[in-house]
Amino acid sequence: MPVIYIDNVLYEVEGGQDLLTACLSLGLNVPHFCWHPALHSVGACRQCAVKMFRDEKDTRGFIVMSCLTGVEDGCRISINDPEVKRFRASVIEWLMANHPHDCPVCDEGGECHLQDMTVMTGHNYRKYAFKKRTYKNQDLGPFIHHEMNRCIQCYRCLRYYRDYAGGRDFNVFGIHQRVSFGRAHDGTLENEFSGNLVEVCPTGVFTDKTFRRHFTRKWDLQTAPSICPHCGLGCNTIPGERYGTLRRILNRYNSEVNGYFLCDRGRFGYEFVNSDRRITRPLVKQDSGPNAFQEAVTGEEALTRFKEIFRESKGVVGIGSPRASLEANFALRSLVGADRFSCGMSSREQELVGAALGILRDGPVSPASLHDVELSDAALVLGEDVTNVAPRLALALRQAALRKLLAICEKLNIPRWNEAAVRELVRHEKGPLFIATPFGTRLDDAAAETYHAAPDDIARLGFAVANRINPYSPAVEGLSADPSEKAAVIAQALLDAHHPLVVAGVTCGEKSVLHAAANVAWALHSVGRPVKLSFTMPECNSLGVALMGGMGLEQALGMVREGTADTVVILENDLFRRVSLDQITAFLDSCKNVVVLDHLSNESTSRSDLVFPAATFAEADGTFVNNEGRAARFYQVFKPLDPIKESWRWLRDMMAITGKAQTATWHRLDDIVAAMADSEPIFEPLPTIAPPADFRAAGQKIPRQSHRESGRTAILANVTVHEPAPPADPDSALTFSMEGYRGIPPSSLTPRYWASGWNSVQALYRFQERISGPLRGGDPGKRLIEPDEHRDVSYFRDVPARFEARDGKWLIVPAHHIFGSEELSVLSPGIAERTTRPYLGLYPQDAGLLELNEGQYANLMINGKMLTLPVRMNPTLPRGVASLPKGLPDMEWMDLPAWGRVTAAGEDPRGFNP
């Protein structure tokens, strides 16, 4: 490793990096703006200047930008040289010349990188005595607030939005001292990752608009480490709370998972926690028939009622949930018994998730973390509209598409950190990213090749690729020229790659696609390529409940129909989103008693006899298992209003009251985690994924509140003038207090990033082992699935027949939407505003056959139902295939893909003309 001298102190640093990264990794303070660990160096802001000396005799030295200077063995620099310090202070002075100094009313104030850097450089008295420039702000939609006057023109936003995230509706405008950033016209930022601008912007130009509506300073937010509950990737987050409302979500860095960025669903979907649809009291159904109503009762009354229900019952089935924690599912399984426990997924979904799990667990190829995805240099996506089902994965794939191109730069000795040069070099190239989906996706622009076909044909393409890589995998009969050529190109690109990747998933709804993906991965593995597999999962704990086992939902419904059970306990699961309306209505009607635990009122809760108010992810501790099998702990951010409780606690109480002995020892989360670890070998590591509740750092708990939390004695003054004791937290080493350990806690217990002199999110540098490396002491979470790479495989042989379009019928494929298809986030107003209306996607010529134009209504006969929907033309759909949004609010559940009959609806059924 090269050694460098910084202010005459010798340091050993990694080669191949720029000096700024090296200095920050060493914990040295070098101010900077345009450099960002994920966006690298462009040399725009000139803030990171350091002095460089030719040799030990050189005393004058010369100023260089540390971000644009590579580490060279023996090089000598100075951060503290007076001349360069003066220069850095003057850079701040220039930036501050036009900055409005409106920190007291700025949402960034107190966690502002510009403030930090200003203090760091020592600039304080302004000499600029002229008028400041001003700008007009733009309305950028429900997520991002724009305040252009604060801009210091570091160009980070532009580089993030366009180069990193692939957005096209954002740009830099104007020239010289009138440069501005935003959209050409007011309007919603279209990119699915726009929320990261909030963290990328070093000052208050782009701030969180949802946070703004219930704003609280960073130091007044109570925060805890958490996991995003809105898709299966398990991105790490930091939610913040004050006065019992959840205020915002920030990214929590995990070098293996989400790195520096979140998607907009994850960042802005949190407001369901504050929804007025929250269930805040236990509810008991009174009367029956049309007069029935739900009455609020106390927790004890509800449990007593449950005891009666349980005693009267012939048999109880438990329906778990892929969006509830492992602990809650396990408690439910313990309550009803493993043979009466359902994983809460429809049979089709369970089969698909099970197939994916089987491939990961029993095959030789390991699952890809998001970091692995970013490092892959060729990727094949089969079937999944990644941007809409596992958004952060799409952002990772976008980076992967660049990876192969970096070879061009290496050949020219252009290091990766030299971002401007790298972008220049690769600007006209596309890396080997191949996307095969039923219709165009928002990631297609990054792909070298796309293939839009029916799911069966996508599977056939995958099987053909596998066959080209290893002829022992089954061949595809009668493959036409186009997919055959594509398969050859894809197979070659995957073979040429150092780190090939195959992406598939559950949401496209075809098992053969998963099998095709497995064959490709296994074929690559068989020829010695270090391939990885990434399967998207629909929900935050899909894989977790799949590991737990249990029957499919239809089977559980069958038990009631057949009379082996008459009572159901439903855990955090709106069954109306899982199976058909007829099935679920019949089921609920035939149940003698329906008991539901959930956060929000929905169809299922409103039809139940007993409702327990369950804590959301922000009010509970628990474990989710993400799509790669990584178990990660999330922690209570705040104590919910009494009597809302974690589902597992309710279930434990139910077990206790119904005389289940094992709960006697389930006092706190660690106890139930230990019980889980005992129950299944795969869960054995669970107690080790995070420190136990007894963990203490230097003898202290880790405070959820900052050292500057204000109003501690006043917050509850309307209730009592005495300062109440903070709520106890028996479940974790965190405490609901501002008192406790102030150092860097274990990574899975880090409630916020804050360090001396670093008040903004950039304080993260101090928590990383090195810039963009793992968090100190290792990243949180632990993989439960680590396949044995020497395992033999037998290739899947279920190559489907070629898709044939049918007369008058269309294969209806599900279209997932990042905003709208996920149950909880859609209850957040910002997400709701972005949610699409129901529609039927048709290929224009297919629509022409039906004499339908854009926006006109079509009748769709599907699953024995008739839906009337406006037509949306989608020229990327294959002929004979139509798309129907999945999971939108107010849309009935449909089992997709399925064949449907489409006819023109004639007159607009809703009373107005299209």
Partner 1 sequence: MERPLTQHIRPGKEPLEIKQYEGAGGYASVRTAVKEMSPGDVIAAVKASNLRGRGGAGFPTGTKWADMPTLDDARRPRFLIADADEMEPGTFKDRFLLEGNPHQLIEGMILAAFSAQTEVAYIFLRPGYAPPQRRLIKAMAEAYDRGYLGKNILGTDFNLEMHLHLSAGRYICGEGVAMIQSLEGKRAIPGPRAPRTSKFGLWGNPTLVNNVETLCNAPHIINHGAEWFKGLSRCKDGGTKIFSVSGKVNRPGAWELPMGTTLREVLEQHAGGMRDGVKFRGVLPGGASTDFLLEEHLDNPMDFDSLGAVGSRLGTAAMIVLDDRTCPVGMVLNLERFFARESCGWCTPCREGIPWTVHILEQIESGNGTPEDLDLLEAQTKLLGPGRTFCALAPGAMEPLQSALKYFRDDFEQHIRMRRCPWR
Summarize as ranges the residues that interact with partner 1 (CB under 8 A).
42-47, 49, 62-64, 87, 90-91, 94-95, 97-98, 127-130, 152-153, 155, 172, 174-179, 412-414, 418, 420-421, 424-425, 427-429
141-171 exposure pattern, b = at least 16 Cβ within 10 A, e = fewer: bbbbbbbbbbbbbbbbbbbbbbbbbbbebbe
Question: Minimal distance in Å, beta carbon 148 to partner 1?
Answer: 14
Tell me how far apart the alpha carbons of residues 244 and 242 are, in angstroms, rounded to a whole number. Answer: 5
Would you say 218 or 404 has its CB closer to partner 1? 404
Question: How many other C-beta atoms can be found within 10 angstroms of the C-beta atom of residue 908?
Answer: 14
Note whether 775 and 254 are within 8 A (CB): yes
Q: Which is nearer to partner 1, 19 or 380 (CB)?
A: 19
- Contact between 1 and 13 (Cβ < 8 Å): yes
Q: How many CB atoms lie within 10 A of CB 182?
A: 27
- Give the strand pairing for 898-904 and 567-571: unpaired
Q: Residue 269 is which amino acid?
A: G
- Least separation in angstroms between residue 891's CB and partner 1 is 43
How far apart are the C-alpha atoms of 512 and 240, rounded to whole Å? 42
Nearer residue to partner 1 within complex by CB, 86 or 696: 86
Residue closer to partner 1 (CB basis): 43 or 692: 43
The residues, ordered by sequence, that sit 6+ positions from 714 with a Cβ below 8 Å of its Cβ are none
Distance in Å, CB of 374 to partner 1, minimum? 23
Closest CA relative to residue 629, chosen from 358, 334, 347: 358
The token pair at 77 is: 């620099």
Our CB check for partner 1 shows the closer of 59 and 413 to be 413
Which of 154/584 has CB closer to partner 1? 154
Smallest gap from residue 425 Cβ to partner 1 (A): 6
Task: Please say whether the beta carbons of 333 and 550 come within 8 A.
Answer: yes
Q: Where are the beta strands (DSSP E) in 531-585?
A: 532-536, 567-571
User: From the CB of 110, what's the least distance to partner 1, in Å?
Assistant: 24
The minimum distance between CB 621 and partner 1, in angstroms, equals 46
Per-residue tokens: 356 = 């994916």
Least Å distance, CB 688 to partner 1, is 47
Residue 830: CB minimum distance to partner 1, A: 32
Instruction: Please state the closest distance from residue 411 (CB atom) to partner 1, in A.
Output: 10
Smallest distance from partner 1 to CB 491, Å: 25
CB contact burial 766-800 (16+ within 10 A = b; e otherwise): bbbebbbebbbeebbbbbbbebeeeeebebbeebb
Closest contact distance (angstroms) between CB of 409 and partner 1 is: 8
Are residues 443 and 394 in contact, defined by beta-carbon separation less than 8 angstroms?
yes
CB of 104 to partner 1, least distance (A): 24
Residue 40: helix, strand or coil by DSSP? strand
Name the residue nearer to partner 1 (CB basis): 171 or 484.
Answer: 171
372: left (phi over 0), alpha (psi -120 to 50) or beta: alpha
Pick 174 or 727: Cβ nearer partner 1: 174
> Is-contact 840 857, C-beta < 8 A?
no
Q: In sequence order, which residues have a C-beta less than 8 Å from that of residue 894 and are 6 or more positions away?
A: 580, 812, 814, 862, 863, 865, 884, 886
Least distance from C-beta 879 to partner 1, angstroms?
36
Q: DSSP strand E in 243-309: where? A: 245-251, 283-286, 293-296
Residues 746 and 750: their CA atoms lie apart, in Å, by 6
Q: Which is nearer to partner 1, 63 or 805 (by Cβ)?
A: 63
Distance CA 674, CA 696 (A): 19
CB-wise, 67 or 669, nearer to partner 1?
A: 67
Rounded CA-CA distance 853/904 in Å is 10
User: Closest CB to partner 1 among 64 and 227?
Assistant: 64
Cα–Cα nearest to 856, from 868, 843, 874: 868
Nearest-approach distance from CB 115 to partner 1, in angstroms: 17
Name which of 89 and 898 has its Cβ closer to partner 1: 89
Distances (CA, A) of 142 to 43, 150, 436, 773, 829: 33, 20, 32, 33, 8
Q: Minimal distance in Å, beta carbon 157 to partner 1?
A: 14
Residue 427 CB, nearest approach to partner 1 (Å): 6
427 or 722: CB nearest partner 1: 427
Minimum CB distance to partner 1 smaller for 129 or for 728? 129
Half-sphere exposure for 710 (CA within 13 Å, toward CB): 5
**Residue in 40, 650, 593 with CA at minimum distance from that of residue 300:** 650
Cis amide prior to 530 (ω within 30 degrees): no
DSSP states along 790-828: T--------PPPPP--BTTEEEEEEE--TTTSSTTGGGS
Q: Are 703 and 751 in contact (CB under 8 A)?
A: yes
* Shortest reach from residue 405's CB to partner 1, in Å: 11
The span from the CA of 608 to the CA of 302, in Å, is: 13
Nearer to partner 1, 421 or 884 (CB): 421
* Closer by beta carbon to partner 1, 317 or else 422: 422
For helices 669-679 and 647-657, angle between their N-to-C axes, nearest 10 degrees: 80
Closest CB to partner 1 among residues 91, 331: 91
Choice between 129 and 661, CB closer to partner 1: 129
The least CB distance from residue 90 to partner 1, in Å, is: 5
